[in-house]
Amino acid sequence: MIEVRDLQKSFPVKETLFKALITAFTGKQRFVRAVNGVSFTMQEGEIFGLAGESGCGKTTTCMLLLRLYTPSGGTIEFQGKDLKSLKGAELSEFRRKAQLIFQDPYESLNPRFTVLRTIEEPLIVNKVRGKAQRRDRVLLAMARSRLTPVEEYIRKYPHELSGGERQRVCIARAIVLEPSLLVADEAVSMLDVSIRASVLNLLRQLTEEMHMAALYISHDLSLLGSICDKIAIMYSGEIVEMGTPTEVINAPCHPYTKALVAAVPVPEFYRREAKLASITGEPPDLIDFPQGCPFQPRCEVAEDICFRKKPDLCETNQKHFVACHLHDATVARG
């Protein structure tokens, strides 16, 4: 359904007046490379997870996939069409097929709208005619989102709902148009732990029942492992490892992925009073990238080639990809 190839997004650096004059004189504009050569595919009924620390480019990738940002390079093909070339009616049709679930259900709902009006809004915007038809579709979306009995919720306002109920309203609003692509950016991070599992199970069921492709963005590897069919780990705007949850979480290859997995707290750590693992150093400057592998300044097992050559995303075994020289048999190290 979706094929992303060498996706790139750069933002011009906001300069001081003095530096802006130098830039105008030299003609050398500096850019922040937020996404730098990302490639992956998504299939119908599949949940694709995107993980990494803050600032790695997860949300920017999400915005590019929804055509809220225009790519600086690379291509995104949605159902055989290049998103960058879509205009007018074709772009409007794509907007109907691609929907977003926001992170914060407390900020993403209009406090003056009832549940009915909130979920009906996408239908109104996309000019679905017939009040009775819109109401039927709203009721169906509410039932699918487990907002039942619908009679108890349909006239309520956001302040009358719990956090989990608000997020279910957001989910119902996203699926009321019956999209082909669903993007969820940290959709349960604002919810109590006790209700996260039910919302995640709901997203899993909806993806299968409605034959959607779903992109789930999170920094929580344990969460992604529970619902995703495939996971990609991002670092400094690039994918450094990609595969099934079993391969990426249980058998990580890239040093960065290993560090992320080691940093996930488990009960045994607290019983032993052991310290959680941490990654030393800071991510590289996204304006002036270091030579070679972007993770080499923080990598404890970096070799000479890591400082000289950037690794490619290579397949280590079936459907498991890693961008690391230590796992690239074709590279002569030393």
Q: How confident is the model at residue 149 (pLDDT cuts 50, 70, 90)?
A: very high
Of 327, 308, 304, 300, which is closest to residue 241 (Cα–Cα)? 327
Worst-scoring range by mean pLDDT, 19-28, 163-172, 287-296, 321-330?
19-28
Residue 301 above 80 pLDDT?
Answer: yes
Q: How far is CA 95 from the centre of its chain?
A: 17
Residue 269 above 60 pLDDT?
Answer: no
Residue 290 above 80 pLDDT?
Answer: no
Distance CA 116, CA 219 (A): 32
What was the pLDDT predicted at 53?
86
Q: How confident is the model at residue 178 (pLDDT cuts 50, 70, 90)?
A: very high
Q: How confident is the model at residue 318 (pLDDT cuts 50, 70, 90)?
A: confident
Residue 330 above 60 pLDDT?
Answer: no
Residue 260 above 90 pLDDT?
Answer: no
- Asked if residue 179 has a cis previous peptide bond (ω within 30° of 0), the answer is no
pLDDT digits (tens, 9 = 90+) for 198-250: 888 899 999 999 999 999 998 888 888 888 999 999 999 999 999 999 899 88
Of 231, 146, 220, which is closest to residue 186 (Cα–Cα)? 220
> What mean pLDDT, rounded, does the chain reach?
87
Residue type at 285 in one-letter notation: D
Residue 281 above 80 pLDDT?
Answer: no
Residue 334 above 80 pLDDT?
Answer: no
Q: State mean pLDDT over 155-159.
A: 94
Q: State mean pLDDT over 277-292.
A: 77
Q: State mean pLDDT over 305-309.
A: 89
What was the pLDDT predicted at 145?
93
What was the pLDDT predicted at 283?
79
What was the pLDDT predicted at 18?
64
Share above pLDDT 90 across residues of the chain, in percent, rounded to a whole number: 48
Backbone angles phi, psi at 141, to 5 degrees: -65, -40
pTM over 0.95: no
Domains by residue range for the chain, with CATH: 2-327 (3.40.50.300)
Token pair listed for 212? 């959607």
Q: Which residue has the tokens 């959709």?
A: 187
Distance CA 294, CA 239 (A): 11
